[in-house]
Amino acid sequence: MKRLYRKAESALHPKTPHPYLVQYRHECRSRFTSRHINDNNRINDTMTKAAVLWTGGKDSALALHLSLNLYDVRSLICFVPADNRQFYAHPTQLMALQAQKIGIPIEFVPISEPYKRSYRQQIETIRDRGIEVLITGDISTVGGMPNWIDEVATGLLGVEKPLWELDRGAILDTLASDQFEVVCSLSYKKHFEPTITGRHLDFELISELKQLPIDACGEQGEYHTWVLDAPFFKTPVRLEDTRIVDAPEYCYLTYESGV
């Protein structure tokens, strides 16, 4: 595989937003209008200052997309190990490139043990810079545990989860209809044989995911994604010399360079 590029959408699938997310957007616009537009139709300076927790994947991207007209999004935040370990599914180099394409600065915030104290210290620093809300693309609990960001941000910052417990099919259909370009960056063999790593999240793959006995959005870690283009990207990300690496438990995508 030499280059990742947008695949042509099938003419059988309409490029219109899913009704479930249309309703959410209508509510968002109503809230935005009532809170931030004055009698002279000018936007007030009272929009809540927010940071989006960024992974480079589809869920954080959709959360940002739904929040742009509701919040004053000042930055993207990615919590990373203090020892600079890299994750195959979410390389920081790609996230930095995505931030350039979006035009919002990204900050890689180091986290070390004990993790809860470290998260709270860093979130307190973020708050002290004027951020009032953290926006996350979390969709549901993972492994039945309480939401981690809710827990570590309690008493420090508000947490907004625009995708929380939304219908999985609605989320996936909206990504495809709104022409997000998303590629699977890692998938576990116990869920996918053959692998879906390297495939674009188009209507064909979405249909397959909906039929599997998994969380179709991969919320339990079944698969991970990279966003290469979205409605709020200035220009798409282009990856050169991509290849799929076959590891014992999963397959992951890697690349030589990105522009």
The answer to whether residues 155 and 195 belong to one domain is no
Strands 106-111 and 72-81: parallel
The answer to whether residue 39 sits within a structural domain is: no
Number of structural domains, the chain? 2
Q: Check: CB of residue 17 under 8 Å from CB of residue 240.
A: no
Does residue 54 sit in the same domain as residue 137? Answer: yes
Residues 113 and 205 in one domain: no
Stated pTM of the model? 0.86
Per the domain annotation, does 149 fall within a domain? Answer: yes
Instruction: Kindly indicate the confidence band of residue 191, based on its pLDDT and cuts at 50, 70 and 90.
Output: very high
Mean pLDDT of 167-186: 96
pLDDT, tens digit, 9 for 90 and up, residues 106-156: 999 999 999 999 999 999 999 999 999 999 999 999 988 999 999 999 999
Q: Do 66 and 187 have their domain in common? A: no
Query: What's the pLDDT at 71?
Result: 96
Q: What is the mean pLDDT of the chain?
A: 87
Positive or negative, the CA dihedral 171, 177, 183, 189 is positive
Single out the residue in 133, 160, 187 at which a domain terminates: 160
> How far is Cα 12 from Cα 238, in angstroms, rounded to an integer?
27
The pLDDT-based confidence of 19 (bands split at 50, 70, 90) is: low
- Within a domain: 2: no
Length of the chain: 259
For residue 78, what are the domain limits? 19-28+48-160
Q: Is residue 207 part of a domain?
A: yes
In a domain, 8, yes or no: no
Q: Positive or negative, the Cα torsion across 233, 239, 243, 249?
A: negative
How confident is the model over 43-61, as a mean pLDDT? 88
At 29, is the pLDDT very low, low, confident or very high (cuts 50, 70, 90)? very low
Judge if 156 and 184 occupy the same domain. no
Dmax over CA atoms of the chain, in Å, equals 62
The yes-or-no verdict on residue 31 having pLDDT over 70 is no
